[in-house]
């Protein structure tokens, strides 16, 4: 047996008197919630204590931590099994009195919450539906004091898989309310002296804790750690692991809506009739997750009902954490970098705040055939750009639920090994996006290539299998991982190539230009990958066949990006439609060396093929005109860092 000793998880202490005591489902509680549909509060829950015994000594599953990962896992298990679940939480108040960060989600978590966990009505009533992700840059030579001055990249049409701007406190309260309606669910808040002894093979795990000044010891088949950054099991089992991402964040909330479209001097009529609407349309831009970008950083603006979430995420090597260590410092910094916020931000009241100086980490293992697992931030976390945290919760919870429901020990052993590899691969595929190419946030053209690539991969290899419920089908997972490993090598090479191009381009600045408005889906492969949202109900063999076909689409985008960069660096527009270059560019060995690239192209045949150019015709029209510069003196461009492990391909 391995012993996991007691902890104090280091989370912010609460100053309110204890209101939330034992919360266990019962007929009385179920009847209470049937007549009160306004949503839960800690006072409501504490005033309706369970009539069930608090001294039950056996549970099928014990979950450690009542954050989003733990609450959603409990709901998924309750919806799909007859398991008895005990959820333990150190904090006395769920939802907590402080606002929780991590509000924006994307398609995998949007589908998971809305469809898998059947929360669509709550999401539509209590949270804004998200208008995709939008990114903004300050064009050189512009005042950048009005919203209309900014260049934008975006997807104009709403996603067919709805996404949401989550008020984390509201949704966690709703999840707790729903879970408490089930008589198989028990919840203890305010526990202390938590201790876990993990069993091997057939034995039951032992979990002890103090609750309401009474010691408790129970047995459980499974223990799942969702304790967040406390990392209860990972720390005690020696599983914590660093990663190459060294980023920080300072975030805060202000009272009321910060409507970015009103950050302007223009009068209302002139604003509503502005020519930018010809491209941007009329859906409120403030419904998006809005990112104001620069080299190695982004500043988010996320709407919640009655408040706005704002936060700066930055590379510690580019921005000093001490320079942005409070909301006041961030606001002052943002005013200098993005003066558009001078219009309203200083007038809005800060209602809560938080920071992480270094938030990213890995984990050596997150699931075991010995019937324990880790989900959410108790295991791994990369970076909030693109909101992968919620997706990994959805993916890990789905795999953990399937493992818990697997009765045969031999089958569980196989699944645990396979799921661990899958969990690692799905996490590791994000790492180059943050460790290799984060600095390209400083350039709209480079970021457009980076994000379109990443989103095409995401729609193809994350969303498509998830909405087809294929990640728990071993017939699918084995060949999927083989394809994903091939993709990992390509992803790492392309991220490095784009980053080196960014550095080359940075040495050749543009003096001025008009704002550029670019829809990511005007790059054909991304639009084609979104069509996979409509491919539902496929068998594992059919889905693998579809992925192999879609891999051609993914590689086509990679070829376009590589050949486009060749054409710009070598100042030869004809290269973008050169048939031989399009066919022979070495995607598995891309190297940004202008002289070597020039030598490679000298021997090319002149046969043209317009297909690759048509793939990104709008992109070329938008950006090619502002990438031709007078050639300065030769500048040595440092290579982008190469990760030791390619995303999606685990080392032996």
* Structural domains of the chain, with CATH: 2-100+168-238+367-404 (3.50.50.60), 128-165+246-356 (3.30.9.100), 491-626 (no CATH)
Q: What is the mean pLDDT of residues 399-403?
A: 98
DSSP-assigned letters across all residues of 416-446: HHHHHHHHHHHHHTTHHHHHTSGGGGG-HHH
The band of 638, judged by pLDDT with boundaries at 50, 70 and 90, is: low
Q: What is the mean pLDDT of residues 330-344?
A: 96
| CA–CA distance, 147 with 136 (Å, rounded to integer) | 9
Please tell me the predicted confidence (pLDDT) of residue 208. 97
Please enumerate in sequence order all residues whose Cβ is within 8 A of that of 144, keeping only pairs 6 or more positions apart, or say none: 138, 150, 338, 339, 340
**Helix H or strand E encompassing 568:** helix 540-569
pLDDT at position 27 over 70: no
Q: What is the mean pLDDT of residues 440-446?
A: 97
Lowest mean pLDDT among 258-262, 473-477, 645-649: 645-649
DSSP state of 608: B
Please tell me the predicted confidence (pLDDT) of residue 13. 34
Count the neighbouring beta carbons within 10 Å of the beta carbon of residue 27: 10
pLDDT at position 374 over 80: yes
Please tell me the predicted confidence (pLDDT) of residue 522. 96
Helices 474-506 and 540-569: crossing angle in degrees, nearest 10, is: 10
| CA–CA distance, 48 with 29 (Å, rounded to integer) | 6
Q: Which residue has the tokens 């040495």?
A: 507
Backbone angles phi, psi at 271, to 5 degrees: -65, -45
The HSE-up count of residue 78 (CA atoms within 13 Å, CB side) is 26
pLDDT at position 52 over 60: no
Residue 557's alpha-carbon distances to 388, 526, 646, in angstroms, are 22, 8, 19
The band of 641, judged by pLDDT with boundaries at 50, 70 and 90, is: low
Please tell me the predicted confidence (pLDDT) of residue 200. 82
pLDDT at position 651 over 90: no
Q: What is the mean pLDDT of residues 256-285?
A: 96
Q: What is the mean pLDDT of residues 16-30?
A: 33
What's the token pair of residue 313?
Answer: 């995420």
Q: pLDDT over 70 for what percent of the chain?
A: 87
| CA–CA distance, 539 with 638 (Å, rounded to integer) | 47
The band of 627, judged by pLDDT with boundaries at 50, 70 and 90, is: low
* Helix spans in 161-310 (H): 168-180, 232-236, 268-272, 277-280
CA end-to-end span of the chain, whole Å? 28
Please tell me the predicted confidence (pLDDT) of residue 649. 40
pLDDT at position 44 over 50: no
3-state SS assignment for residue 194: strand
| CA–CA distance, 208 with 55 (Å, rounded to integer) | 12
The band of 624, judged by pLDDT with boundaries at 50, 70 and 90, is: confident
Round the average pLDDT of the chain to a whole number and report it: 89
**Residue 376, phi-psi category: left (phi > 0), alpha (psi -120 to 50), beta (remainder):** left
What's the token pair of residue 380?
Answer: 């791994």
Q: Which residue has the tokens 């060294």?
A: 246
Whole-prediction pTM: 0.89
Q: What is the mean pLDDT of residues 79-100?
A: 96
Q: What is the mean pLDDT of residues 128-136?
A: 98
Count the neighbouring beta carbons within 10 Å of the beta carbon of residue 233: 28
Please tell me the predicted confidence (pLDDT) of residue 413. 97
- Condensed to tens digits (0 to 9), the pLDDT of residues 518-562 reads 999 999 999 999 999 999 999 999 999 999 999 999 999 999 999
pLDDT at position 411 over 80: yes
| CA–CA distance, 45 with 93 (Å, rounded to integer) | 10
Q: What is the mean pLDDT of residues 357-385?
A: 98
pLDDT at position 45 over 80: no
Please tell me the predicted confidence (pLDDT) of residue 512. 78
DSSP state of 346: G
DSSP-assigned letters across all residues of 611-627: HHHHHTHHHHHHHGGGS
| CA–CA distance, 502 with 439 (Å, rounded to integer) | 8
- Condensed to tens digits (0 to 9), the pLDDT of residues 572-613 reads 999 999 999 999 999 999 999 999 999 999 999 999 999 999
**Would strands 22-24 and 185-189 be described as parallel, antiparallel, or unpaired?**
antiparallel
* Helix spans in 57-216 (H): 68-80, 107-111, 120-126, 168-180
| CA–CA distance, 152 with 495 (Å, rounded to integer) | 22
| CA–CA distance, 131 with 156 (Å, rounded to integer) | 8
CA 630-292-380 angle, 5° bins: 110
CB 455 within 8 A of CB 526: yes
CB 408 within 8 A of CB 260: no
CA 620-625-629 angle, 5° bins: 125
pLDDT at position 493 over 70: yes
Q: Which residue has the tokens 């410092």?
A: 329
Please enumerate in sequence order all residues whose Cβ is within 8 A of that of 111, keeping only pairs 6 or more positions apart, or say none: 161, 394, 463, 466, 467
Higher-pLDDT residue of 553, 630: 553
The percent of the chain in helix, strand and coil, each rounded to the nearest 5, is 45, 20, 35
3-state SS assignment for residue 206: strand
* Cis amide bond preceding 95, omega within 30: yes
The band of 450, judged by pLDDT with boundaries at 50, 70 and 90, is: very high
Q: pLDDT over 90 for what percent of the chain?
A: 85
The band of 639, judged by pLDDT with boundaries at 50, 70 and 90, is: low
């Amino acid at each position: 047996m391995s012993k996991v000793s007691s902890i104090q998880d280091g989370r912010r202490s609460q100053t309110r008197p204890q209101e939330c005591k034992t919360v266990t489902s019962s007929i009385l509680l179920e009847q209470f919630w049937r007549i009160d549909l306004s949503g839960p509060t800690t006072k409501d829950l504490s005033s309706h204590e369970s009539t069930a015994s608090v001294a039950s000594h056996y549970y099928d599953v014990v979950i450690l931590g009542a954050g989003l990962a733990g609450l959603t896992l409990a709901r998924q298990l309750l919806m799909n099994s007859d398991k008895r679940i005990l959820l333990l939480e150190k904090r006395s108040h769920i939802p907590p009195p402080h606002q929780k960060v991590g509000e924006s989600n994307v398609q995998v978590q949007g589908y998971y919450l809305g469809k898998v966990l059947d929360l669509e009505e709550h999401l539509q009533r209590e949270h804004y539906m998200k208008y995709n992700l939008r990114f903004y840059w300050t064009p050189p030579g512009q005042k950048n004091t009005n919203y209309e001055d900014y260049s934008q990249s975006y997807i104009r049409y709403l996603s067919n898989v709805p996404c949401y701007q989550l008020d984390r406190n509201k949704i966690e309260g709703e999840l707790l309310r729903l879970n408490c309606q089930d008589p198989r669910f028990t919840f203890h808040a305010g526990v202390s002296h938590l201790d876990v002894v993990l069993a091997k093979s057939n034995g039951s795990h032992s979990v002890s804790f103090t609750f309401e000044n009474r010691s408790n010891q129970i047995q459980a088949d499974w223990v799942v750690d969702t304790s967040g950054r406390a990392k209860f099991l990972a720390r005690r089992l020696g599983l914590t692991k660093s990663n190459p991402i060294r980023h920080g964040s300072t975030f805060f909330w202000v009272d009321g809506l910060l409507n970015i479209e009103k950050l302007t001097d223009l009068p209302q009529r002139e604003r509503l009739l502005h020519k930018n609407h010809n491209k941007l349309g009329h859906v409120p831009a403030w419904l998006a997750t809005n990112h104001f970008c620069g080299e190695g950083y982004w500043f988010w603006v996320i709407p919640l009902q009655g408040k706005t979430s704002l936060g700066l995420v930055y590379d510690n090597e580019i921005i000093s954490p001490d320079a942005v260590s409070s909301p006041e410092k961030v606001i002052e910094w943002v005013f200098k970098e993005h003066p558009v916020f001078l219009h309203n931000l200083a007038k809005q009241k800060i209602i809560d705040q938080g920071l992480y100086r270094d938030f990213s980490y890995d984990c050596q293992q997150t699931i075991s055939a010995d019937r324990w697992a880790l989900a959410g931030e108790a295991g791994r976390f990369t970076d909030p750009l693109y909101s992968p945290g919620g997706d990994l919760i959805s993916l890990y919870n789905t795999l953990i639920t399937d493992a818990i429901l697997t009765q045969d020990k031999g089958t569980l052993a196989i699944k645990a090994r396979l799921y661990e590899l899958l969990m690692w691969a799905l996490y590791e595929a994000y790492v180059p996006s943050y460790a290799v190419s984060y600095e390209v946030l400083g350039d709209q053209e480079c970021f457009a290539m980076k994000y379109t690539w990443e989103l095409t991969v995401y729609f193809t290899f994350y969303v498509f299998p998830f909405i087809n419920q294929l990640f728990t089908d071993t017939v699918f997972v084995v060949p999927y991982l083989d394809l994903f490993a091939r993709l990992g090598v390509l992803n790492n090479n392309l991220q490095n190539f784009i980053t080196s191009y960014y550095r080359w381009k940075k040495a050749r600045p543009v003096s001025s230009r008009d704002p550029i408005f670019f829809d990511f889906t005007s790059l054909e492969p991304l639009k084609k990958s979104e069509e996979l949202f409509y491919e539902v109900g496929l068998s594992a063999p059919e889905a693998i066949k579809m992925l192999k076909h879609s891999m051609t689409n993914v590689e086509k985008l990679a070829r376009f990006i590589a050949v486009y960069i060749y054409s710009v660096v070598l100042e030869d527009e004809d290269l973008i439609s050169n048939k031989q270059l399009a066919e022979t560019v070495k995607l598995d060995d891309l190297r940004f060396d202008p002289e070597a690239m020039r030598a490679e192209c000298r021997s090319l045949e002149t046969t043209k093929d317009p297909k690759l150019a048509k793939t990104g015709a709008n992109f070329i029209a938008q950006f090619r005109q502002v990438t031709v510069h007078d050639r300065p003196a030769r500048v040595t461009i440092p290579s982008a860092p190469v990760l030791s492990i390619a995303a999606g391909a685990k080392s032996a």
